[in-house]
Amino acid sequence: MLRDSNKIVGDAQLSVPENHSVIVLLNFVDAKISGFRNYYFSIPLPPEGENAITYHLANYFNALLIDENDGFLPYKFNFVKNPTQSESRRETDLGVVILSKSMPSYPIIEFEAKRLSGSSNNTEYVYGERGGIERFKKNHHGTQLKICGMLGYVQKDTANDWFNKINGWITEQSNNTTTALDWKNQSELLVHIWSHEKVNKYSSMNVRLSQSSLTIYHYLIDLVN
């Protein structure tokens, strides 16, 4: 059976390495995400809100998958808004499932999205009541997953500016004696992977409250007009 993280998904009758479908999916995202900026600005009066941007991002990827699933990709992926959580009432912003006619579909990866702008509570990319990374660390999101993602919609300044700010907020949390979360591991900091056409990709290795590890891939998308 096809295995991903701690869940059985899909109806493929072959044995593949754990997280294989997640790697295939991330390769697809890496190859296609830079085209979202032009797609977004083709919308009359493109929305600035986080939920609306994520809605259009899901539509963008699903439209591309129609062609890719004609033979290029081995799985029938689907990007879904606000997948439910098995152990939390807090929904992530975006999930990806493998479509199956014989079994319920569970997310193989989940993404939390945040605006990075002049009017947002930008520290919530890292921590706070709606803190993106913090929710993963607290097991509110992606509890059974080993790989998840963050989407940063850059609407002011540059991705590099936000990269430095995000790592600064993580460093601040490592010195916060009032939190039960462990931010002290150097691997919690974002590490740059690549830059391509207004998109920057980073990774971090995070530790949950349960002490299990989680790899988060961060995509900062330049949506400054």
pLDDT at 57: 98
Residue 86 pLDDT level (bands cut at 50, 70, 90):
low
* Domain residue limits, the chain: 3-222
pTM (two decimals): 0.90
pLDDT at 85: 66
Question: Does residue 98 contact residue 104 with C-beta atoms inside 8 Å?
Answer: no
Question: Does residue 148 contact residue 109 with C-beta atoms inside 8 Å?
Answer: yes
pLDDT in tens, 151-175: 999 999 999 999 999 999 999 999 9
Nearest to 188 by CA among 211, 212, 205, 173: 205
The CA distance from 189 to 206, in Å, is 9
